[in-house]
Every structure is written in C-alpha cells, then in structure tokens.
Structure 1
C-alpha cells in the first residue's frame, strides 16, 4: 500500500526522534553553560531544572556531573563554523580547517577527552534501547561543508562522505591516533586534517570519474 502524503514514513519518524533528542541534549548543554556563566558549578539535577527537562531524562544524556561539565566545556569553546569556512570557500581546505579546529579543542584537554568517551559508553550501555544519544558536535562542521557540494555530489554520495568524515573528526579519531598509532599531538592533528581533506577529494574525484564515464557512454550511443 502506498504511503499517503499526509502519513510520515518510518524514516521521517526516526528523523523526528533524532531531531528531538538533539534538541533535548542541546537544551541541557545550553542550560549548563548558562549556569556556569553565572558562576555556578551545576549538578545534573540543576541543569535539568533550568532546561525544564525531567531529571530522569537528563541522566540519560549525562550520567554524572563530570560528564556534563567535560562536554559543555568543549561545546562552549567550539569555534563557530563561519569563522573557519563560509559557503563559496574551498570545501577541501575548509574541512581540513574544521577538523583541525575541532580536534585541537578536544586534544588540548586529553584527560577530558577520555572522560567524554567514558561517559558516552556509559550512556550507551545503560540505555536499554541502545539508541544513540551522542551530541554530534562534529556534524555542525561536517554537514554544512558537505552540503555545499549538493550541486556536485548526489544525496547518497554526500551521506557517505558525512559518515566517512565523522570517523576522522572527534573523540574516537583522536584516541585512535594517539593511543594506537602513538602519534604526537601535532602528528595527530595533521593526520586527521589530512584524512578529512583526502576524503573530500576522493568523493569529488569519484564523481568526476562517474561523470566522465557517463559522457563517454552518451557520446558512443549517439554516434552514427
């Protein structure tokens, strides 16, 4: 049976729930930042009250005050994307600058970085539905830059590129390159930015190759 225009698909419902979770998390983060700016060292309960969210919900996102404070510190200090890259700028260069800005912010407090990862794992393990409750800060950099290529890359290609970039930017990427490959801080930042630029270049190269093949095929089919 076809889905009527007035009936949202299950995908739309999933997207709506994801958006609501992001809004709830952001409300908690904003409340924590506001309380800290007022000179408080807030508890999760105080943040929940300021955000007008139940304590039970707040603890689903932040199982401890330590997790809350470590994450809001990074959120508050995150450089606005428009200071790094604007529509019309080179997306390859932009993604490298964005990766460097985000990763440098995180790696400047390496203990806090590991605390954040621990809190993420705790939230996931304690959440019976195993739904993602992560903030996805990196996507506020990734999505606008990749979507600036909408006239070049297909929706499917942009989605895959966003997913690939999420692997090389953020907490897990830094822990992998530092703890596993034993890279220095400078090497970690350089490797992550290089990987981000390489992914965008590869996506563009694949699109160009596919376009060349289509044009060649079209030329052959129209030849007398």
Structure 2
C-alpha cells in the first residue's frame, strides 16, 4: 500500500464555516456530481472537477474509499439518523423501510458506485493487488439492529442475528440492482417485492422461534413424568 493511501482523512470541525469547511463542501459537491454521472471518481478527478489542487484534495480525501464514504454519508444522512417510533419489532422494521428505503432510489447512482468500489476492492484484495484502504459498507447493520431490537427476546440471539443478516440483503441498493438489471422491474415493483420479502423473513423467524419454543416445552413435559417415576422407584 502506498504512503498516499495510508494518509488520514482530514475533515473540517463540526460547525466550521470557514475556508476548510467550504473547501470540503466544494470537493464533496464535485464528487456527488461525478458519481451521479456514472463515475467512481479518483481523488484527482474530484480535484479537477472542483477546481482545487490535487495536494489540497488529498488532504481531505486521501483515496477513493474516503471519497465514496463521504458521498454515501451525504446521500444517506437522514437514513442513518432515523429512529422508528413504533414499539413492536416488526412494525419498527416496516416503518424504517417505508420511511427510508426510497432514499436508495433517489441516490441510486451513488449507492451503485459504493457497491462497485466494494466489489472492485474485494477482487483486487483477493489477488494481492489492492493499493488503497479497502472500502467497507455496513451502515445498515446498526440501523436494522436498532429497529428490530424488540424482536430479540422472542427470537433469541442466534436467530435474531440470522434475521438481521437476512434483512440486510433486502434493505439496501441490492434489490434495485438485481430486480432492475435482471428483471427490468420498475421502482415501485422493487419496493413492493422488497417489502414482501421483509415481511416474509420476519414472519418466518417468528414462526421458527415459536415452534422451537413449543418443542422445548413439550420435551420438558415428557421428561417430567419420567423423572417422577424414577424418583418413585428409588423410594420404594
């Protein structure tokens, strides 16, 4: 990995309205526009588009990973901060979906760029040719965990974690990529299918948990009389 790719991202302090904040916003706006045009831009391309020197751009965005991370953060800001108001676990996940999933459509080019860079880095890393920090996605993990939290007691840790991983396949840009690219589905159809999958996954997890709990209860009931008989035999 090159020295340049190991540099630390420099961001303006929160609330900074000075030159650093303006430069950062200028670079970010350029990156957002380039991505909307179908690019996964290098830092040099962002600098050129923003009319900023490369040296300055690299102080804010040392590599493509930091560029795309900033683009995703800007695109999904309201999504990351969303907290469902419902109390029921399934209702909370449905609320999260209905209120935030359309954001992936609104910023589809930006989400696709993040997916593309992630896949590119995976391929390069596998053969030892990755020369910049690997871009990793994962914002949806905490979002889904918070939304589905009330379901954990009913599901148990293992099944709850399994449900979160299954939901993470549905909640993101991936349904748009698969259903639009392969099936030529409309945006509305993508949302309807994703919502149907979400409901089916939660319902299946709850059914399995209920069945497992019922089986365990029946096993305990069967064991109790056997234990009582053994105890009676020992006392006679």
Given candidates 105, 111, 119, the residue that maps to 2:109 is 111
| C-alpha separation in 2, matches of 1:70 and 1:169 | 19
Partner of 1:156: 158
After TM superposition, list the pairs within 5 Å mapping 1:80-99 onto structure 2. 80-82=81-83, 84-85=84-85, 89-99=87-97
Unaligned runs of 5+ in 1: 1-26
Partner of 2:177: 175
Deviation of the 1:99 alpha carbon: 2.6
Partner of 2:204: 202
| C-alpha separation in 1, matches of 2:174 and 2:211 | 32
Query: Mean alpha-carbon deviation: is it higher for 126-135 or for 213-222?
Result: 126-135
| C-alpha separation in 2, matches of 1:222 and 1:209 | 20
Q: 1:29 to 1:147 in 2, by over 3 A?
A: farther
| C-alpha separation in 2, matches of 1:117 and 1:200 | 26
Q: 1:151 to 1:68 in 2, by over 3 A?
A: closer
Deviations 1:31-79 (A, max 9, x none): 69984797422475757645xxxx6xx42624xx4x3554233232426
Q: How many residues get paired?
A: 186
| C-alpha separation in 2, matches of 1:206 and 1:143 | 19
| C-alpha separation in 1, matches of 2:13 and 2:27 | 9
Deviation of the 1:191 alpha carbon: 1.4
Unaligned runs of 5+ in 2: 1-7, 16-20, 32-42, 44-54, 230-236
**TM-score relative to the length of structure 1:** 0.67
Query: Mean alpha-carbon deviation: is it higher for 205-214 or for 179-188?
Result: 179-188
* 8 Å Cα contact 1:97/1:193 also seen in 2: no
Q: What secondary structure is seen at the aligned counterpart in 1 of 2:27?
A: coil
Q: CA RMSD in A?
A: 3.4
Deviation of the 1:80 alpha carbon: 2.4
* 8 Å Cα contact 2:89/2:147 also seen in 1: yes
**TM-score relative to the length of structure 2:** 0.64
